[in-house]
Chain A
């Protein structure tokens, strides 16, 4: 489905704007809390673990491994694979796996981020390394 043109554009808001601005430059950001040192994704202004407002942007290498996935065999846009990636930096996030043979996906497989265009900021997808 990644090659279908109509991906929804992120609406954005003051809290998430730096993420989407970085995305347009191909940079994949997450947040880390300076109080408890824990990383999180998607980004919040206040740390979801300790509620500190001392959260800072950090750039991810955009690599990780598949935590789980499921291949949806049929949809209006054709088959697609949803799943969670656990980034090397720690947080896990929901995504789709693209640009690969969807039948060969495996839990634990190494993947990296690929950006797919929308009418606004691009969206992060993942593909096997």
Chain B
């Protein structure tokens, strides 16, 4: 059996100190920042545009959605996909900002940015924060993943997303009896949602059998266990309660966020069956003052089917090892199961701009909270939603971030 992450002595000491640390409510971001604008680029293939241009287009889209202008922006957030980083982007976009953050933790960067933007707004560092993601991996390969001190000791082994997430799935199956059929249900649920999304890359509903019959890419993951590769992007505008209430959009506010990083830690007590979500989740839930039972809709980063299954377990939607049972039989399909997830079709079917899925996870959660998801997948009375993702390589070094949002 896999070890319990909270039972590893060395980790436990840190985790207890960390989680028992009293959060002073006046230092919380709860209710102090609103998501006023959200925009997903409709493109999935953009050979005729530049990457910086796509950033500008999503920035414009999110500001128009909010009813704000570029001149209102005084904070900017971007990650490794932004050409030249914050300095080059602020200049290219013609912004004048007094706060910026270019934290890069792969696909979950934008979930981290959302939390950091809320912190900055709560501290009065800025009042209208813009977060952008865009890129075009179909036209040109994204820059190589940055490496650290481990470089010489790992680079020769050709870690890719496919084989690293495959290793996690292999060990999860070994420890808990998780099956390929159960993983396939995650793709099936995503495809049921994608059929209603006119922009989705893959709109066909698929069956468990379709997934199992798709070619094996890296054992035990089949092609249909893997997300799509798309050009595109998305952006968010985060602002103060006062400004949000002066706008005409439905009110969606942030009530909790957590972030964490997990790696092999010197090779001690290696356990690939859990992610850093076991640490980011409890922090976000504690700050929000809600539990998994309160979550009406969940956006869960679906780089691969196994990513979803592990994160659902780590966030406490089911017990560790029971994710297979939890996702089976359509439990993630809106209107059918208990936990509607990724109602836009997610990264598995709709969109995965620059191989970074965190932004689109937030955007679909905002649509759900506003009541603006497609009517066929809209969750009734969706008042509290969660968006969660990992970035980096799940089975090696990765970050996770959990965001909990509320319709006011």
Contacts and interface: CB of A to CB of B under 8 A. Distances in A.
A72 B160 CA distance: 9
A49 B269 CA distance: 12
Contacts of B174: 68, 107
A21 B153 CA distance: 14
B154 A94 contact: yes
A96 B356 CA distance: 27
Nearest to A43: B153
Interface in B168-207: 168-171, 174
A18 interface: no
Query: Counting chain A CB atoms within 10 Å of each CB, which of B151, B216, B218, B221 scores highest?
Result: B218
Interface string A37-52: 0111110100011000
A44 B170 CA distance: 29
Contacts of A83: 167
A82 B169 CA distance: 13
Interface stretch (B37-45, B259-267, B369-377, B382-390): B259-267
Contacts of A84: 167, 264, 270, 272, 395
Nearest to B216: A73
A92 B167 contact: no
User: What interface size band does chain A fall in?
Assistant: 35 or more
B218 A40 contact: no
A17 to B, nearest CB: 11
B347 interface: no
A49 B158 contact: no
A86 B266 CA distance: 12
A96 B264 contact: no
Contacts of B270: 67, 84, 86, 92
Nearest to B171: A68
Interface string B150-162: 1111111111101
B108 to A, nearest CB: 22
Interface of A: 1, 7-8, 10-12, 15-16, 20, 38-42, 44, 48-49, 67-75, 77, 80, 82-84, 86-87, 90-96, 107, 118, 123
29 contacts: A15-B149, A16-B152, A39-B268, A42-B150, A67-B270, A68-B171, A68-B272, A68-B395, A70-B163, A70-B166, A70-B170, A70-B219, A70-B220, A71-B163, A72-B160, A72-B163, A73-B218, A74-B217, A82-B157, A82-B159, A82-B163, A83-B167, A86-B267, A87-B267, A91-B268, A92-B267, A92-B268, A96-B158, A118-B156
Given A42-B149, A73-B217, A82-B163, 5 more contacts: A68-B174, A69-B170, A84-B272, A93-B264, A94-B153
Nearest first, the 6 A-B pairs at minimum CB distance are: A40-B266, A70-B166, A91-B267, A92-B270, A68-B171, A42-B153
